[in-house]
Structure 1
Amino acid sequence: METTDGLKLNITTESSFEDDDIKNTIVQYGNNFSKLEKYLKDSTQSIENLVDNKYYPIGHIMWNKVPASGSYIGWVVTREGIQAQKWLPNKNYSIGNLVKPPVDNGGLYECVVDGKSSTTPPTFMTSLQQEFPEVSGKIWRKEFNYEVGDLVFPTNGSKTYYYLCETAGYSSPTEPEWSSVQNDTAFIDNSVVWRKAKNIIWKKVGTNSEFRPFGKIE
């Protein structure tokens, strides 16, 4: 038997007919139907709906379940890798969760220390197995004018938790007792209102899959 280039189906041709075993040919054709069934039924309404943590090879096709004028027949994988959702702000992530950056750099990132994402994405490092924090804010300053969205850490250098400014104002002359505040709790620092959040640690673990649309329907 010979093998096709695309789906790697085993087929009998004129040149291989005399040498093919009948029983083996029937079995191989059954395997071909199984491959075709899997190939044809892989479809979705949107790439965003794909199951996370699944590997997709280059050339894999995902058919559009709801084709319509102006949309596409489907999507094809142009970069092999693991499917993951885009990083989202203000979201709790657990150890083992996978994300890809909102501005795709091809990387796949795993949460290795649980916590809550910030209002803006971190700088996603590009070296494999490199770990980095969600937030790399500044050290708290006394009697400083803070704006909504500012992020700070205690002056003792700890970066396990970060503090998000929810109400603008001037900080106190004395530093707050950060350790006495519960996680995900708002508290007052003079006229500033902070919210405590646990800092996520991310690690680049591989490559995320990239799907590109094909076959635009006019």
Structure 2
Amino acid sequence: MSTETNKLKLKIPSYSDEVENFVRDMGFNFEILDLISDDYVSATPTSGDYIRTKRLYNTTPVYGGFVGWINVRTGKAAPMWKSLKTYVNGDYIIPNVDNGHVYICIQSGTSAFTEPIFPVSTGIEFNDTRMSSTWAATTQYKLNDIVLPTIDNGRFYICIQAGESGNTEPPWQQVDGATTYDKNASWATYRICRWKEAGSAALFYPFGKIG
């Protein structure tokens, strides 16, 4: 019967082991060694799950730079939110100012011009339409203003030509990128992106100043 090493708890086969047990133990050992082996990256990751204390080594260390990065919070790595970017179901993002949470896209669409105020309650869902307002007649709109139709159609509209809206609500286009003409104002069409709070975000800090 196999025993274990003190530090890594690797399996030490015994002479009496059957071939099947020996192969199983060696496979277990290889998995442990692969798990603890050093990883080399050129930048902090934007995908994957990482435990606290996970270290990633810099593939291109230079004088004045760092040896690598260490994760100080168990969680998922994700790219930062970007404005007017198309996201699809299953995409993950984190806020540009860390709040400890990661968010998953649950409705494919385009992010708004202004970053959301990200909620931190577990599992909460929200639309990416910050700074939007319901369309109003004879109103002066400026570039990048966002409006929602008076009757929800799952889309938001961003002003691409400043001007005054018409006396009556226009027939809104529903194809992404299509333009709705509204008296002196013009609007580009985007499908609303929807997010859900999805747990803890990994947080990497550089370590090992060089020089």
Change (3 A) 1:110 1:37: closer
Higher helix share goes to which structure? 1
Alignment-derived partner of residue 100 in structure 2: 106
* Rounded Cα–Cα distance in structure 2 between residues aligned with 1:131 and 1:37: 37
* Rounded Cα–Cα distance in structure 2 between residues aligned with 1:191 and 1:107: 42
Q: How big is the shift at 1:38?
A: 4.9
Alignment-derived partner of residue 45 in structure 1: 42
* Rounded Cα–Cα distance in structure 1 between residues aligned with 2:43 and 2:175: 39
Change (3 A) 1:201 1:51: closer
Alignment-derived partner of residue 74 in structure 1: 68
Give 2:186's match in structure 1, choosing from 187, 190, 193: 193
1:144 alignment partner AA: T
* Rounded Cα–Cα distance in structure 2 between residues aligned with 1:55 and 1:73: 21
SS of the residue corresponding to residue 203 of structure 1 reads strand
Task: Tell me the alpha carbon deviations over residues 164-218 of structure 1, each in whole angstroms, 9 at most, x when there is no partner.
Answer: 011111111111011x442321232111111111111100011111111100101
SS of the residue corresponding to residue 72 of structure 2 reads strand
Give 2:82's match in structure 1, choosing from 82, 88, 111: 88
Alignment-derived partner of residue 140 in structure 2: 145
* Rounded Cα–Cα distance in structure 2 between residues aligned with 1:89 and 1:213: 27
* Rounded Cα–Cα distance in structure 2 between residues aligned with 1:206 and 1:135: 22
Task: Tell me the alpha carbon deviations over residues 43-84 of structure 1, each in whole angstroms, 9 at most, x when there is no partner.
Answer: 10111xx362x2110111100111101110011110000111
Change (3 A) 1:133 1:22: same
Kept in 1: contact 2:171–2:180 (CA 8 A): no
* Rounded Cα–Cα distance in structure 2 between residues aligned with 1:30 and 1:95: 36
* Rounded Cα–Cα distance in structure 2 between residues aligned with 1:36 and 1:63: 17
Alignment-derived partner of residue 9 in structure 2: 10
Which sections of structure 2, spanning at least 5 residues, go unmatched? none
SS of the residue corresponding to residue 85 of structure 1 reads coil
Give 2:123's match in structure 1, choosing from 129, 133, 146: 129
Change (3 A) 1:62 1:173: same
1:3 alignment partner AA: N
Kept in 1: contact 2:52–2:71 (CA 8 A): yes
1:173 alignment partner AA: N
* Rounded Cα–Cα distance in structure 2 between residues aligned with 1:73 and 1:22: 40
Give 1:59's match in structure 2, choosing from 22, 32, 53: 53
Q: How many residues align?
A: 201
Q: How big is the shift at 1:10?
A: 3.4
Alignment-derived partner of residue 170 in structure 2: 176
Percent identity, please: 31
Alignment-derived partner of residue 217 in structure 1: 210
Task: Tell me the alpha carbon deviations over residues 118-146 of structure 1, each in whole angstroms, 9 at most, x when there is no partner.
Answer: 12211211111100000041111111111
SS of the residue corresponding to residue 89 of structure 2 reads coil
Alignment-derived partner of residue 14 in structure 1: none
Alignment-derived partner of residue 150 in structure 2: 155
**Correspondence 1:15-26 to 2 at 5 A:** none
